[in-house]
Amino acid sequence: MTMTDTCCSIHPYFQVQPGQLPAFRRLCERFIEKTRPEPGCLYYGFSVAGDVVHCREGYVDAAALLRHVENVAALIEEALQISAIARLEVHGPAAELEKLRGPLANLSVEFYTFECGFRR
């Protein structure tokens, strides 16, 4: 049986301003609280390398990813008061990425098309 994988992931890298990492970490907890109840979220968490914070997150499809972006919009605005987006990637199958290009057009997104692999 073949499964069509519609999973989309978004990878923002936040360059945190000097001295603001403790405040950003508190924001991470709020992001997690806000995201936890989203039914379309497959995984969500933060990784830190120096003063760069990466949000590792995946969604069942493009629609779930867009619902998430809307859900955390106010928190993103708060985060951007003490950081800047250093890089923003979106990964997923071509058909799902097409659903994201228009809604995310105002951002500097690098789109990566899923070509091969598997998901359990």
Give the global pTM: 0.93
pLDDT tens-digit series, residues 30-84: 999 999 999 999 999 999 999 999 999 999 999 999 999 999 999 999 999 999 9
pLDDT tens-digit series, residues 1-16: 455 789 999 999 999 9
Could you tell me if 40 and 67 are in contact, meaning their C-beta atoms sit under 8 angstroms apart? Answer: yes
